[in-house]
Structure 1
């Protein structure tokens, strides 16, 4: 099964809507990337590669957040750019992953992503409020 087939069309739309809702009041950018296999031994190394491939380090305030999942390998990562990493609590990404992991264990992947995205959106809104001239710098679609 391909990674994108993990989600129905309706579930994909729920995740995309969660991204759009999270980005409504922030200049931050959130992306979700799915693939079947993680081609590197370390999932964070792969997340960094994908982050760069998607151009996420090019946001004006360096406040992009990537949610990465390798479905068949059962590996996932949450990666924030340097701007957001400077301001969130030290354990923020780990606690976000814990919430997602608990949902994933119950095979509630859509809920896990939506809750993780919502948490990231809360931090982005707090530290990077939407600017008057803000534009959506990156696609909200799930990449794969």
Structure 2
């Protein structure tokens, strides 16, 4: 086994879900879910948050990256399947200390990847200072501002709430 695979495996073993739950109190996650709902009333986007504590050993040994896991969650949660192709997934691999944003084709046509990377940095910076719920909230605020500017709601158009607003903690 390569040394860096062993180190990564060790990092993932150190973060079982119960340990990561301690960083994200239920009340904080519920507050973020409410703020997602409020945000979605201002723009056409549909936002999902996933915080994954760790990968299983097979995924780590197979070299699965946080970006690959984000794409898997994007598909599993149906973020790609919104009526207006406007889903956005903010994914956190806690053990890897990685943040990824995957946007559906309707959003990604107008939003350069650099914009999403800036939001990822905001979340990562907050996490590196131990401000976990605040990091998610700051990321949501920045995504909300971006989506509100580029995809504002237009009167008379139907905007179904295609995706659940709850933060997934896995």
Task: State TM-score, norm by structure 1.
Answer: 0.89
Aligned position for 1:64: 87
- 8 A contact 1:63–1:124 mirrored in 2: no
Shift of 1:128: 2.2
Aligned position for 1:140: 165
Find the aligned partners of 2:75 and 2:113 in 1 and give their Cα distance.
Answer: 23
Q: Would you say 1:35 and 2:52 are equivalent positions?
A: yes
Q: Would you say 1:10 and 2:27 are equivalent positions?
A: yes
Structure having the higher Rg: 2
Shift of 1:33: 1.1
| Number of aligned positions between the proteins | 144
- 8 A contact 1:68–1:76 mirrored in 2: yes
* Secondary structure class of the residue paired with 2:48: strand
Pick which of 123-132 and 30-39 moved more.
Answer: 123-132
Which ranges of structure 2 fall in alignment gaps of 5 or more residues?
1-15
Aligned position for 2:40: 23
Shift of 1:79: 1.5
Structure 1 residues 120 and 30 mapped into 2: Cα distance closer, same or farther (>3 Å)?
same
Shift of 1:41: 2.5
Aligned position for 2:110: 87
Find the aligned partners of 1:33 and 1:90 in 2 and give their Cα distance.
Answer: 19
Task: State TM-score, norm by structure 2.
Answer: 0.76
Structure 1 residues 51 and 90 mapped into 2: Cα distance closer, same or farther (>3 Å)?
closer
